[in-house]
Chain A
Amino acid sequence: MRWLSRSYLTLVYLLLYVPIVVLVVFSFNDSRTGYSWGGLSLRWYDSLFNNHAMVQAMWNSLWLALTAATVSTIIGALTALALHRYRFRGKRVLNGMLFVVMMSPEIVLAISLLGLFLLLGLKLGYVSLLLAHVTFCLPFVVITVMARLSGFDERLPEAARDLGASDFTMTRTVLIPVIMPALMAGWLLGFTLSMDDVVVSTFVSGPSYEILPLRIYSMVRVGLKPEVNALGTLLLVFSLVMLMLSQWILSRSKQ
């Protein structure tokens, strides 16, 4: 029984990870065709970094992810704080709306935002991407911070004020340091979600601001491009580092 369940777990993990391993291995493949092994090489990484448009898209994506993660962390943290600390009318509605945003298919969010931006006459580009990315990152940040706040001792803010801190000082010296790990984890998640998004970006981006996932999308629709192996490997490593960082921050703070 135990043997069976072990091998079953192993098999499924194998299936999940084989394609990724293949991609990484092939990114170092010298062969042009991309199907057969032609020896070890870094040529695809080289050609990637010599492609000016590609590098530009990379920078665009990084900047977008950076700003989207930051804005969504700020708004998300404030939302979580409001949900946690205040009693107000429509609290359940707000909670529900965040849940719906998180559950609803990305494509539905995408077209609704496209409609809004066109109605407002907003030129599709960085701003529209930012607004869209912040919107889909928001619920994830809120959830991460809420999880931290739910274990937060209600008496801590009172203790701070009892010892002479104003509400502002209390927020700065107690509240923010305590929820910091959640803020960082939320930021990292937002950053990664933004870096990886294809569906929403397909709708709300314009020619003025090309981002990496869309560039990859246009490359992989037809045939196989060895550069994509290299780029995909870089993105995978990048995401993995972000995830490990976030896990480390959260586990360290649990002590």
Chain B
Amino acid sequence: MTKTLLSLSGISKQFDGKTVLDELSLTIDDGEFITLLGPSGCGKTTLLRMMAGFEHPDEGTVTLSGVDITQTPPEHRPLNTVFQNYALFPHMSVFDNVAYGLKMEKRPKAEIAERVEEALAMVQLEDFARRKPHQLSGGQQQRVAIARAVVKRPKMLLLDEPLSALDYKLRRTMQVELKRLQRELGITFVFVTHDQEEALSMSDRIVVLKDGHIQQLGTPREVYERPANVFTARFVGQTNFFPGRVTNIEGERISVDVFGLNRDLNKPSFRVAMKQSLHVLLRPEDIRVLAPDDTEGVAGKIVERNYKGSTLDSMIELEDGSHVMASEFFDEDDPTFDYSIGERVRVSWVDGWEWLLAEEGDEPLTDEEELAADDAEH
């Protein structure tokens, strides 16, 4: 049985006349791992800072367990934050950093010592209590920052891009570590990131944000497989957008013309009309690349191939000039399988793996989003 821990309703915030959050509402359940995902400037950090109390909304309310905390200063909120660059106090030892919050609560010395040790043990840093932050590696500093925040047993832990300063391998390790901590502590985690891969692998639910609006709220699977709109589809993972046209509607099935192929598909949840244009979305891993003499699919030629270790990613140019991304796993029977540039192939997919989206006046991706999406892939 889930119950609401924190709820934001009708939150608006402007900085220097620029709207950062626009009448945003969101409820966070007790014990969940929720991720705020979006490109830089989408308002995710502002939203997190509002929960922490560093920013106050121009309009709207923040309630925690039913209590209005909209104007409560950060020091009086039972929430703690793990900051992007850790924000460890450079003049204090690891022990004093972790003990800081408990000292503020004026806990007895013995209790502080015990709880700090416990927290350090939890992040496997018992032996580093006497060190100063600058004597630790990035990953260790990160753990101290986490220990410092959780030692206060907050109702909720706010994490502001906590892994962005770590290298790729360490980031993967810390992702696992954070998930383990969250399970063990049973605390609600609110995690901010622009890395969609991170969001998909860690979260119970993902909030996709753009321009201060929630684009989609759902489980990682929902967000990835059934994106609510073009932005989410483009931001989370890579996607082929094929132009489709409705040629027939019959009960729960519709027929769509894609590259001259007629496919029978399930009717989407939005209203469709005859001859309507729509997007047919296919993830690269759902594309099937077939031999040129195959009877199925559309003809094209390989224009780019990238060896990715476990997959072979290729770009196929169709005869009408449009491009298709494909990502194929190496299979055991043919480990040397490869394409040569210019090789002729046919492109198809398994019926039912596509996702349909209505056209939205079809705004092209802005440069910034493009960059953010690129970022998120690496």
Contacts and interface: CB of A to CB of B under 8 A. Distances in A.
Interface string A214-255: 000000000000000000000000000000000000000001
Most B C-beta atoms less than 10 A away, residue of A163, A169, A173: A163
Given A164-B105, A164-B152, A159 B134 contact: no
A161 interface: yes
A162 B74 contact: yes
B74 A177 contact: no
Contacts of A159: 81, 83, 87-89, 148
A177 B75 contact: no
A133 B87 CA distance: 38
Interface string A154-178: 0110111111111001000110011
Contact of B52 (A153, A162, A177): A162
Interface residues of B, number: 26
Contacts of A174: 89
B84 interface: yes
* A-B CB proximity, top 5 nearest: A164-B104, A163-B101, A155-B87, A159-B87, A161-B74
A174 B88 CA distance: 10
A231 B59 CA distance: 69
B100 A160 contact: yes
Contacts of B73: 161
Contacts of A158: 52, 54, 74, 81, 83, 87
Nearest to B100: A163
A29 to B, nearest CB: 49
Interface in B140-170: 148-149, 152
A164 B149 CA distance: 11
Interface in B250-297: none
A67 to B, nearest CB: 28
A134 to B, nearest CB: 28
B148 A155 contact: no
Interface string A130-168: 000000000000000000000001011011111111100
Contacts of B61: none
Contacts of A178: 89-91
Given A158-B54, A158-B74, A163 B104 contact: yes
Given A162-B52, A163-B101, A255-B134, A153 B152 contact: no
Contacts of B75: 161-166
Most A C-beta atoms less than 10 A away, residue of B73, B75, B81, B84: B75
B150 to A, nearest CB: 11
Interface of A: 153, 155-156, 158-166, 169, 173-174, 177-178, 180, 255
A249 to B, nearest CB: 13
A153 B85 contact: yes
A161 B75 CA distance: 5
Contacts of A162: 52-54, 74-75, 79-81, 149
Interface string B86-124: 011111000000001100110000000000000000000
Contacts of B81: 158-159, 162
A180 B148 CA distance: 24
A156 B100 CA distance: 12
Contacts of A161: 53-54, 73-75
Most B C-beta atoms less than 10 A away, residue of A156, A162, A178: A162
Nearest to A153: B87
A226 B52 CA distance: 69
Contacts of B104: 163-165, 169
A156 B81 CA distance: 12
A255 B91 CA distance: 10
A161 to B, nearest CB: 4
Contacts of B101: 163-164
6 contacts: A155-B87, A162-B54, A162-B149, A164-B105, A164-B152, A177-B89
A180 B90 CA distance: 12
Nearest to A170: B75
A163 B91 contact: no
Contact of A163 (B84, B134, B148): B148
A197 to B, nearest CB: 33
Contacts of B76: 164
Given A156-B89, A178-B91, 18 more contacts: A153-B87, A155-B87, A158-B52, A158-B83, A158-B87, A159-B83, A159-B89, A159-B148, A160-B89, A161-B74, A162-B75, A162-B79, A162-B80, A163-B75, A163-B100, A164-B104, A164-B152, A173-B100
Nearest to B84: A155
B324 to A, nearest CB: 44
A119 B73 CA distance: 49
Contacts of A160: 89, 100
A179 to B, nearest CB: 10
Given A161-B73, A163-B148, A155 B85 contact: yes
A161 B101 CA distance: 9
A255 B131 CA distance: 13
B83 to A, nearest CB: 5
A39 B143 CA distance: 68
A172 to B, nearest CB: 12
B91 A177 contact: yes
Nearest to A173: B100
A50 B231 CA distance: 87
Nearest to B96: A173
Interface string B64-77: 00000000011110
Contacts of B84: 155
A153 B87 CA distance: 7
B152 A163 contact: yes
